[in-house]
Amino acid sequence: MARDGLTDDQVCDLLLRTRRIAVVGASDKPGRPSNGVFGFLLQRGYDATPVNPVLNGRAVHGVPGVATLEEAGPLDMVDVFRRSEDAGHVVDEAIRLGAKSIWLQLGIWDDSAAERARAAGILIVMDRCPAIEWGRLGLPSCVPA
């Protein structure tokens, strides 16, 4: 079982029922993983918003970036591309803003923040990438309408 304790069925359900995703730490630089994953999410039909104060107003894959997580709402999922030591602050803000789920990317985990999210009734994924999980789970080419 993965470090986050989630089953394949839980991850699959999350990916298929999510519609809106705020990608914290998104980059407009094509070589960055956050740029590639953001493009992947758009290709799969998600309504995704890049969140990064550096990007404020600049587009990533044609979608204007916003400076804060609050500007990206409403939040189904918050996908986090930040270092583990910075993830807890993003998790706390996602909780405060009423996110339904939080996804910490590969190499990112914060057990304390995960406990806070779970206590708030929020599903949290850690140390995984939705693009990798999508292929591993054999999901369809796009999210169902």
Among 100, 131, 140, residue whose Cα is nearest residue 37: 131
What is the rounded average pLDDT for all residues in the chain?
Answer: 94
All domains in the chain, ordered by first residue: 8-137 (3.40.50.720)
User: pLDDT band for position 33 (50/70/90)?
Assistant: very high
Q: What pLDDT is attached to residue 2?
A: 73
What is the per-residue pLDDT for 128? 96
SS3 content of the chain, % helix, strand, coil (to 5): 35, 20, 45
39: which DSSP letter?
H
Q: Is the pLDDT of residue 1 over 60?
A: no
Q: What is the pTM of this model?
A: 0.95
Is pLDDT above 70 for 5? Answer: yes
State pLDDT tens for residues 71-129: 999 999 999 999 999 999 999 999 999 999 999 999 999 999 999 999 999 999 999 99
Lowest-confidence pick of 1-5, 65-69, 85-89: 1-5
